[in-house]
A = this chain, B = another copy of it.
Amino acid sequence: MSQSVSVTNQELDQLCVNTIRTLAMDAVQNAGSGHPGMPMGMADAAYVLWTRSMKHNPRDPHWPDRDRFVLSAGHGSMLIYALLHLTGYDLPMDELQRLRQWGSKTPGHPEHHLTPGVETTTGPLGQGIANAVGMALAERHLASRFNRPDCALVDHFTYVIVSDGDLMEGISHEACSLAGHLKLDKLIVLYDSNAITLDGPAHLSFSEDIRGRFAAYGWHVQEVDGHAPEEVATALAQARATTDQPSIIITRTHIGFGSPNKQDTKQAHGAALGAEEVALTKQALGWPAEPAFLVPDGVYAHMQQVVQNGQQQQAAWNELYARYQATYPELAAAWERTWSKALPSTWDELLPTFEPDAKGLATRKASGATINALAGQIPALLGGSADLHSSNNTLIDGVGVLSAEAPHNRNIYYGVREHGMGAVMNGMAVHGGVIPYGGTFLTFSDYLRPTIRLAAQMEAQVIYVFTHDSIGLGEDGPTHQPIEHLAALRAIPGLYVLRPGDASETPYAWRAALEHTDGPTALVLSRQNLPVLEPRGQHDVYGELGAAEGVLRGGYVLRSPAGEPDVILLASGSEVSIALDAVLLLRERQIAARVVSMPSWELFAQQDQSYRDSVLPPAVKARVAIEAATTLGWERYVGDAGRIIGIDRYGASAPYKEIYQHYGLTAEHVAAAAADLLGT
């Protein structure tokens, strides 16, 4: 700091803030694309937040009790990259210089896992604020589970910066309404109110009263000049002091602050300013024209006081934790287990088994039984439903409803907020310490679909319990009957989709989901009862039945004739038992059929070629797939010579057995197709 002895603290602060601004401008200009305006506008407030409010240690971005920061307005990624760099995270200057380039840690939108200090992947608007609600909820739950009067092991805030666009998105409504309902008072939102969207002045499309809206949600609302650091600091302090209410601070800013010709215009929003305007802006900010990416003397030293503070804070927490371990060894052990996602080693004892049952059992019910069998052993499991608990069978018995007053409870009532639920689960998963699952009807997987893709991109362990998985739901009709959803979910990279064929397969689907610790899993379950085929082994009608554990390999031989089969019948879920029935019809025609249960394409694709060939011998070209869903994609398994019996139109409102008949999803149809393939 030799050159800055005469610089006042206020001037030094201003220097730091303008460093953030100019780094954002320069990096975007250098990349040739990006969003400079938002970082320039929010630099003052974010600087105050990061250097004066937040509890974080740049040397350990994984410290469990750090404050979380979410840049919901992910397009302004240079704001967080500049802050990470300047406060001493492992993000060197050359990464800023490679903004939006192949292999850099500074992609167009911030990505969790890729960049140290980025807590969640943002960019698709509204997701970040909803993730933050999940983080605050995880914090609240873990605090109530682990804290003791003398030991607040979990005690951190979640800070978010949101844009106009975030608040226009419906997901922000769902998540913020829920946050208000749950009184998540450690959630603090800075709303970058700059009155500009990509298409121009926000008033062209957006004129709601944000104060009134958030007050209606039960939030604490403040409004400040975003370019007045002390106002921001005071408001943040007030927000932290507020109990029983989440906080939003309406932060009035100028997008592209400092740019003589583009400030307060959409031109500052989504494109580089241009060399000339960069030069003019630097001039206006009293900044040297050259070099680009300048960090003036004193800036690093000043901003990296965060490191020292953070290290001290973490050291204090480590001491606290040591005391906790000594005083509460069992809780500390549970704490370690919950953060490491330790799973029980005794699956075989834990997983429920089901007796064969003529009436049968819906796989959603088998799923409910599995949840309850596992919940005691896996206390990290935290479940909810978008107002369909009793239909999704997602309730954990005897542990109550999670509420503002009882945050230690493990049943979350999300309300009819599927999209919010998905994103809240993502936030909980990336927060850590919990394994969230959530239910709705499979049809409404569409409502939360954007969050599934983000869970997959973030490799976040989120478990979806999608019940009522086909026309088999019957009378509720086509609006509620999924057709395209299985294929649409299978198309998402990184997502496991499992559709167990009976009650016995269902616990293994759950096991696969729990073992899939680096990504999301969708469990696809029937509303209607399905024959329970277990106990597997010798079966008096079908011959030997493959063990349900085969679910873990994605596809397995459920039933096969003694010799080479003439035909292979492939099915998932509720159609597995139809395929089995077809075996008997084919036997009458002297056709020997194998049945392959295919609960998960993704897991099957992971098996080696020899296993896959043992299940689907390449020589057997006669194959019939049956699934109560679109046929799209089944060609992969039945091949050119095969047939697919599925549904490529919408369903109907009627008792489900009638719909199955009308739509040709019957053993007779399968048998006829197989016989036809074989020319008999």
Contact = CB atoms under 8 A, between A and B. Distances in A.
Contacts of A476: 33, 100, 108-109, 123
B109 A477 contact: yes
A104 B197 CA distance: 48
A640 B636 CA distance: 8
Interface in A89-133: 100-104, 107-109, 111, 121-126
Contact of A124 (B389, B414, B479, B491): B479
A225 interface: no
Contact of A172 (B170, B208, B446, B488): B170
A464 interface: no
Nearest to A631: B636
Interface string A203-226: 011111111110111100000000
Contact of A168 (B174, B205, B218): B174
B205 A413 contact: yes
Given A107-B477, A181-B208, A632 B633 contact: yes
A425 to B, nearest CB: 15
A613 to B, nearest CB: 14
Interface stretch (A38-46, A307-315, A321-329, A448-456): A448-456
Specify how many copies of this chain sit in the oligomer: 2
A120 B172 CA distance: 26
A391 interface: yes
A44 to B, nearest CB: 24
Interface string A161-192: 00011101111111001101100000000000
A168 B198 contact: no
B33 A413 contact: no
A635 B100 CA distance: 34
Contact of A100 (B123, B170, B630, B653): B653
A487 B491 contact: yes
A452 to B, nearest CB: 9
Contacts of A215: 209, 212, 216
Contact of A198 (B109, B388, B640): B388
Contact of A108 (B34, B171, B480): B480
Interface stretch (A298-306, A415-423, A587-595): A415-423
Nearest to A418: B169
Interface in A40-79: 74
Interface string A471-512: 000111111100110011011111000000000000000000
A652 B107 CA distance: 8
Interface of A: 31-34, 74, 100-104, 107-109, 111, 121-126, 164-166, 168-174, 177-178, 180-181, 197-200, 202, 204-213, 215-218, 385, 387-391, 401, 403, 413-420, 443-444, 446-447, 449-450, 453-454, 456-457, 474-480, 483-484, 487-488, 490-494, 630, 632-633, 635-636, 639-641, 648-650, 652-655, 658-659, 662
6 contacts: A102-B658, A170-B420, A197-B387, A210-B216, A215-B216, A490-B632
Given A169-B170, A212-B212, 18 more contacts: A33-B476, A100-B653, A121-B479, A123-B476, A126-B170, A169-B417, A170-B171, A178-B205, A199-B387, A209-B215, A212-B216, A213-B213, A213-B216, A213-B217, A446-B453, A483-B493, A484-B493, A488-B488
